[in-house]
Amino acid sequence: MPMSTETLTLPVLDDAAIAEVGFVQLPVDPTLDMFAEIERLKKEKNAVLLAHYYQEPDIQDVADYVGDSLGLSREAAKTEADIIVFAGVHFMAETAKILNPNKTVILPDLNAGCSLADSCPPDEFAAFRAKYPDHIVISYINCSAAIKAQTDIICTSSNAKHLVEQIPDDQPIIFAPDKNLGRWLIKETGRDMVLWDGSCIVHEIFSEQKLVRLKARHPDAPVLAHPECEEPVLRHADHIGSTSSIRRYAVENPATEFIVATEAGILHQMQKDSPDKTFIPAPPDNGCACNDCPHMKLNTLEKLYLCLEYEKPTIEMEESLRLRALKPIERMLEMSEGVK
């Protein structure tokens, strides 16, 4: 019979120990119905579970909202829950905390970082910015609070083009940290932006050569790609956009097969939307056939359950940093009203 945690005396957890490993580390009864327990805890604690499309399917299925970075930021900005459980990576949970200083924001595994965010160290970025004093800074949301605090407008892949198009033509722009998204924006908008040299390990792994071969075997399958991919992959795409736009495109397009060049977690919702269509992950340029983000996949259903139970680990932030990081996020939300 499943053991109920209500009958257990919970051990007192040491914050320092959690900080060291990054998550609550306790054995979980393997017979426990994780879905029922997570639902129970969400209700009892007035917690909302927000999940990104790159989370494992079980986590997506138990979430209250699954979406892209813009959708998740909007949900975080309007939630009335007392606790936000963020099933995503650190910069996403941090954004939720910046928007909700008085709420408890928890992340199942604090080690769930992001190679793209890590490719932009705050001190080096400050020195880079100082070289272009008349430029405004637009930063992709995949960056730390310390980078957001040095930014004028935050963007996501859903609204980046829309935001850049609102900047007066004579206003020079720095775009950070993703050079691939930046290059795509330069091409799309005709704006000459100064780019920070950052990138995402997951989206840079796709192989153009293998993609071309795959296309030859599936000539009717549109290629859907995320703008974090490199140009040699993007040039073969029929649609380039955020995870939510890739999902929408596959629903609206009559094709029955699609090649998808982004993290494989998105395939779960695409397959649920269109059970009769076939989604083929774009081939990576490594030995295995895996397009998983190692950071996103650090979160598990067990860690999610434990973090809800213990309300740890929490995202904490110094107030002056939070206030500086808040401004460009608010600007993004105002400037992208109506963007899907």
Binding interface with ligand SF4 (CB under 6 A): 54, 89, 114-116, 142, 200-203, 263, 293, 295-296
115 binds, among ligand SF4, ligand 13P, none (CB under 5 to 8 A by kind): ligand SF4
Q: What angle, rounded to 10 degrees, do the helices at 243-252 and 266-273 form?
A: 20
Helix (H) or strand (E) holding 40: helix 34-45
Question: Binding to ligand 13P by residue 95, rule CB under 6 A?
Answer: no
98 binds, among ligand SF4, ligand 13P, none (CB under 5 to 8 A by kind): none
What DSSP assignment string belongs to 151-200? Answer: -SEEE-TTTHHHHHTTS-TTS-EEEESBHHHHHHHHHHH----EE--B--
- Please choose, out of 40-48, 151-159, 163-171, 270-278, the segment that lies near ligand 13P by the rule CB under 6 A: 151-159
242 binds, among ligand 13P, ligand SF4, none (CB under 5 to 8 A by kind): ligand 13P
| Shortest Cβ 14–ligand SF4 spacing (Å) | 29
State how far the alpha carbon of 185 is from the alpha carbons of 31, 101, 155, 206, 245, in Å: 49, 32, 12, 20, 16
- Rounded-to-integer distance, Cα 253 and Cα 251, Å: 6
| Residue of 142, 199, 291, 300 that binds ligand 13P (CB under 6 A) | 142
- Rounded-to-integer distance, Cα 117 and Cα 128, Å: 16
| Shortest Cβ 17–ligand 13P spacing (Å) | 28
| Residue of 73, 119, 243, 336 that binds ligand 13P (CB under 6 A) | 243
157 binds, among ligand SF4, ligand 13P, none (CB under 5 to 8 A by kind): ligand 13P
State how far the alpha carbon of 329 is from the alpha carbons of 123, 134, 157, 318, in Å: 21, 21, 14, 17
Name which of 53, 49, 51 is nearest 264 in CA terms.
Answer: 53
- Rounded-to-integer distance, Cα 99 and Cα 88, Å: 16
**Residue 6 DSSP one-character state:** G
| Residue of 73, 119, 144, 157 that binds ligand 13P (CB under 6 A) | 157
Interface positions, 10-69, toward ligand 13P (CB under 6 A): 53, 68-69
State how far the alpha carbon of 161 is from the alpha carbons of 148, 150, 248, in Å: 19, 20, 18
Q: Which amino acid does the sequence have at 60?
A: Q
Closest CB to ligand 13P among residues 194, 339 = 339
| Residue of 115, 242, 300, 336 that binds ligand 13P (CB under 6 A) | 242
68 binds, among ligand SF4, ligand 13P, none (CB under 5 to 8 A by kind): ligand 13P
| Shortest Cβ 157–ligand 13P spacing (Å) | 4
- Rounded-to-integer distance, Cα 37 and Cα 49, Å: 13
Interface positions, 300-339, toward ligand 13P (CB under 6 A): none
Question: Site residues (CB under 6 A) for ligand 13P?
Answer: 53, 68-69, 142, 156-158, 226, 228, 242-243
